[in-house]
């Protein structure tokens, strides 16, 4: 088994997930340091979402080990991951449509996000950024303050994606896992979402792991890219190096992709994993 990485927030060691005779994730190891913004890409069926499910506690790995700040969470329930600061979104936003937008955020605060207070019964919550202190400040942060009293079902699909991010933030995470948050958005909305993700990482000192089918946008905004193919990790490097990697080009990106900054990348779309 690989050795723990010093200062890693989350470590995945040789994660394997099998469904019957199908190996969806095959011995994938990765580590994520505090404050990193990491993208995960790969062709349809590469195992991205299954790996995501494994490192967030939604899917129990068949083999391998998961450590969060040194705590072994392998096989633990999702709420144990949440208690250690791991929050995630899903490909299809999971919001309470019949509840007001602000009540969705309050749900996260009430049931998952409370921290020990400075004093026994009062005082500020320890270690909580000011932007995450209450539901209205979270809505302000994600740009939904004016929709606070609307039913969640009445806001647009793109706003529902923002609301789900807000619900995840209400759990006061250290690590935010984003699964296809740009799916179904317009080109302008995708770029706006990417800027928000970067701002949340910077302002809240989060580690962010982001799966996305809008590869061009992701490559422009992340600092490191993990590429999965047929359940295996074939690359883990900067965007600049990943788009030059012959194995990645052959498996996924194609010859039309060029390094960010050299000339505009052609948008490469994939179906949801």
Buried b (16+ CB within 10 A) or exposed e, 238-261: ebeebbbbeebeebbbeeebeebe
pLDDT at 2 over 50: no
User: How much helix, strand and coil, in percent to the nearest 5, is found in the chain?
Assistant: 35, 25, 45
With a pLDDT cut of 90, the percent of the chain lying above it is 60
* 271 vs 208, higher pLDDT: 208
**pLDDT band at 125; cut points 50, 70, 90:** low
Handedness of CA 241, 246, 250, 254 (dihedral sign): positive
Q: Does residue 69 carry a pLDDT above 50?
A: yes
The answer to whether 99 and 163 are in contact (CB under 8 A) is no
More confident residue, 124 or 34: 34
Render 196-219 in DSSP notation, one character per residue. Answer: HHHHHHHHHT-EEEEE-S-HHHHH
Q: In this predicted model, what pLDDT tens digit does every residue of 9-57 receive, in sequence order?
A: 999 999 999 999 999 999 999 999 999 999 999 988 899 999 999 999 9
36 in Cβ contact with 223 (< 8 Å): yes
The pLDDT value recorded for residue 123 is 47
Contact 103, 112 (CB under 8 A): no
pLDDT of residue 6: 59
User: Structural domain boundaries of the chain?
Assistant: 1-85+174-273, 96-172
What homologous superfamily does CATH list for 1-85+174-273?
Answer: P-loop containing nucleotide triphosphate hydrolases (3.40.50.300)
Q: Is 51 exposed, middle or buried (0-12, 13-18, 19+ CB in 10 A)?
A: buried
Q: What is the pLDDT of residues 81-117, one digit of tens each?
A: 988 899 999 877 789 899 999 999 998 888 665 554 4
Mean of pLDDT over the chain: 85
Nearest to 97 by CA among 38, 42, 30, 152: 152
Cβ contact 163:74 at 8 Å: no
pLDDT of the residue at 231 = 95
- Find the mean pLDDT for residues 65-79: 92
Query: Residue 3: which pLDDT band, with cuts at 50, 70 and 90?
Result: very low
**pLDDT > 90? residue 168:** yes
Q: Mean per-residue pLDDT for 260-268?
A: 44
For the record, the structure tokens of 202 come out as 């910077």
Q: In this predicted structure, what is the pLDDT of residue 117?
A: 47
The least confident of 188-202, 214-228, 248-262 is 248-262
Query: Quick one: pLDDT band at residue 133, thresholds 50, 70, 90?
Result: confident
* Res. 184 pLDDT band, cuts 50 70 90: confident
């Amino acid at each position: 088994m690989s050795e723990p990485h010093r200062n890693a927030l989350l470590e995945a060691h040789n994660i394997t997930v099998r469904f019957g005779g199908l190996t969806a994730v095959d011995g994938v190891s990765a580590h994520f340091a505090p404050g990193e913004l990491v993208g995960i890409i790969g062709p349809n069926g590469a195992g991205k979402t299954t790996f995501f499910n494994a490192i967030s506690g939604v899917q129990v790995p068949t083999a391998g080990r998961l450590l969060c700040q040194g705590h072994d969470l392998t096989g633990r329930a999702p709420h144990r991951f949440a208690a250690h600061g791991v929050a995630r979104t899903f490909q299809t936003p999971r919001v309470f449509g019949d509840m007001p937008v602000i009540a969705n955020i309050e749900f996260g605060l009430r049931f998952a996000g409370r921290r020990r207070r400075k004093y026994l019964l009062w005082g500020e919550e320890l270690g909580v950024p000011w932007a995450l202190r209450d539901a209205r400040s979270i809505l302000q942060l994600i740009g939904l303050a004016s929709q606070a009293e609307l039913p969640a079902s009445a806001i647009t699909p793109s706003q529902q994606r923002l609301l789900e991010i807000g619900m995840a933030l209400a759990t006061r995470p250290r690590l935010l896992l984003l699964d296809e948050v740009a799916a179904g958005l317009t080109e302008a909305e995708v770029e706006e979402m990417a800027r928000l993700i970067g701002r949340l990482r910077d302002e809240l000192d989060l580690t962010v792991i982001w799966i996305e089918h809008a590869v061009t946008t992701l490559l422009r905004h992340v600092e490191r890219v993990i590429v999965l193919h047929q359940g295996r990790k074939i690359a883990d490097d900067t965007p600049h190096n990943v788009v030059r990697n012959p194995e990645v080009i052959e498996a996924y990106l194609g010859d039309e992709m060029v390094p960010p900054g050299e000339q505009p990348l052609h948008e490469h779309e994939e179906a949801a994993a």
